[in-house]
Structure 1
Amino acid sequence: MIKRIHVLEDDEDIRYIIGVLLKDEGYELQLSSTFAELKTKLKDSVPDLFILDVMLPDGDGASICADLKGDVFTRHIPIIVMSANDQNKQISIEAGANDYISKPFDIDYIVKRINAQLNK
């Protein structure tokens, strides 16, 4: 069964790179640039994994992570938070993130971290 990943990233270039990378790995993708867009898309389908950026136009990844982990429909879904600022790592883990990836990231590294979360 094909795994679906929802990527919430406001940087168009990073969203594109992650999208191409994950499609090449055989994943189905949902892409959003805002939390509002993510919530709208969740009404149609729930992913197997979330990847959240920290700095977003309508929120921050740690708060969004806590919101998703507090929702009965999404609390079981693994979340990977990404940020260029490593000070966000502890905040993200405390908010319920299953993993944290520092930007910039190595492509092979991010694939390994995604696979690790999806194969638990």
Structure 2
Amino acid sequence: MSQPRAERPQVPDGYGMPDDDEGMLPWSWAENQLLTAANYWFATVRPDGRPSTSPVWGIWHEGALYFDGSDQSRRMKNIAANPKVAVHLESGDNVVILEGSAATVGPPPPRDLAE
């Protein structure tokens, strides 16, 4: 799997944000934050276009975030209608934000979870 691309936030000129990659943290740092997190904030889009956020328990495993939820929950209904999501961790200091698409997968074999 290729490493995700790090991006700086878009901020107005004069905020002192560098234009280059200097000072950007490596993917290994971000992945460690994901591996040690238990809570993730999901941002999804309701069918009428309004945003929706929810805290979710999850696990980062082999380069992917796994989470569950009832197909009757607002989050899962939103994902079924539009799989585009943004996910971030609880901390406002050690920031990791993921953007992409969610997909339904079956559970991994029990031996994978036990290791």
TM-score bracket for this pair, using the shorter chain length: under 0.3
More helix by proportion, 1 or 2?
1
Using the size of structure 1 for normalisation, the TM-score is: 0.24
More strand by proportion, 1 or 2?
2
